[in-house]
Structure 1
Amino acid sequence: MGSDFYQSMILPHAGIIIKICRAYTNSQEDFEDYYQEVCLQIWRSNDRFNQQCEWSTWVYKISLNVCLTYLKKTCNHHQIFASDALPAGAQQEVANFHDSSIEQLYTAIRQLSEVDRAVILLYLEEKSYQQIADIIGTNFNNIGVRIGRIKQRLNKILNRQES
């Protein structure tokens, strides 16, 4: 992957990648592996980007697909991944996520189903219901109801954490 591609196409969207990877991992090592794999898959799939959606939507789709695929591999095969350091540009983004209240939220989000994690992350990024439906590949009409239910579950989880 060329540094120009990374600087211009991935780094501006590092926040998206980091948030999604963080929601699907429990350790720094796994997070770094997921992050690197997402970047690699974005680079590999660049020629398939058909501009029918925004680049950020494409990044979301790839990030979610990679994380869900890795999650299934680790759950089914207990696979262990080697870890390398994150690129310098992404290290500052990660450092911004060590607030305790945000960590509590991510802990709660990790307790949701895989799809619900994706939905709430996209909602927190202020994506429209249509964009969320397009990214996760579901019906637009179900998104509002699903978000309401997810919020209720997160509320219960967070209230239990405080007790």
Structure 2
Amino acid sequence: MKATEKEFLDLMQKHKGILYKISRMYFDHTEDQEDLIQEMTFQLWKSYQNFKGDSQFSTWMYRVCLNTALTFFKKDDKKQDKYELHENYDRIDTDDSAFKEEQLKYFYDAVQELNKVEKALIFLFLEGMNHKDIAENLGISEVNARVKLNRTKEKLQTIIKKNGYEF
């Protein structure tokens, strides 16, 4: 597949939600999320010429973005120490938006206590991916993905209970 700027921009527009979801999963503050989005976009463009269409664009995009997020921290390990739990959360447009917003806040607070790989597992699970797709995106075996995901879900439940987030 020949890499053209228009094709790339069209695909990025169609799947831009992936960028925002991953950045929010890994960072608390808007400025940091924007930095990660910029880095993911750069890495996607840089590697787009290697996208051969063997998988869906979104699958390839998940893999590039998650790998970028996982390695983003390695550039400056000191960065991780400065992050605190975020205070600003997106509004949810539903009838009981205040309640759902509070639940979403608790969820994201709990997710911040997970390590980088656990965040990726939960993100892919929430995106509706099965164990095989999760394994493919993370470059691990399907059995390993299943085990790690189950352990991560248990850890997340423990964090939620520990922090008194249950209703």
C-alpha contact 2:24 2:33 (8 A) present in aligned 1 = yes
Q: 132-141 vs 153-162, which deviates more? A: 153-162
Length-normalised TM-score, structure 1: 0.79
For 2:101, give the aligned amino acid.
D
- The equivalent residue for 1:85 is none
Highest Rg: 1 or 2?
2
The 5-angstrom pairing of residues 78-157 of structure 1 reads 78=79, 95=90, 99-157=101-159
- The equivalent residue for 1:88 is none
Length-normalised TM-score, structure 2: 0.78
Structure 1 position 4, deviation (Å): 6.5
For 1:162, give the aligned amino acid.
G
Aligned residues: 147
- The verdict on how the C-alpha distance between 1:116 and 1:61 changes in structure 2, with shifts beyond 3 A counting, is same
Residues 132-153 of structure 1: CA distance to partner in whole angstroms, max 9, x if unpaired?
1011010111222222211111
Structure 1 position 128, deviation (Å): 1.5
C-alpha contact 1:119 1:147 (8 A) present in aligned 2 = yes
Question: Over the residues paired in the alignment, what is the CA RMSD in angstroms?
Answer: 2.4
C-alpha contact 1:23 1:110 (8 A) present in aligned 2 = yes
Structure with the higher helix share, 1 or 2: 1
Structure 1 position 26, deviation (Å): 2.3
Structure 1 position 34, deviation (Å): 0.4
- The equivalent residue for 1:38 is 40
Counterpart selection for 2:18 from 16, 19, 28: 16
Residues 6-31 of structure 1: CA distance to partner in whole angstroms, max 9, x if unpaired?
3x111221221111111111211100
> Counterparts of 2:126 and 2:105 in 1: how far apart (Å)?
15
Structure 2: stretches of 5+ with no match in the other structure? 81-88, 93-99
- The equivalent residue for 2:62 is 60
- The equivalent residue for 1:5 is 8
> Counterparts of 2:101 and 2:76 in 1: how far apart (Å)?
27
Structure 1 position 68, deviation (Å): 1.4
C-alpha contact 1:25 1:31 (8 A) present in aligned 2 = yes
Identity %: 32
For 2:8, give the aligned amino acid.
F
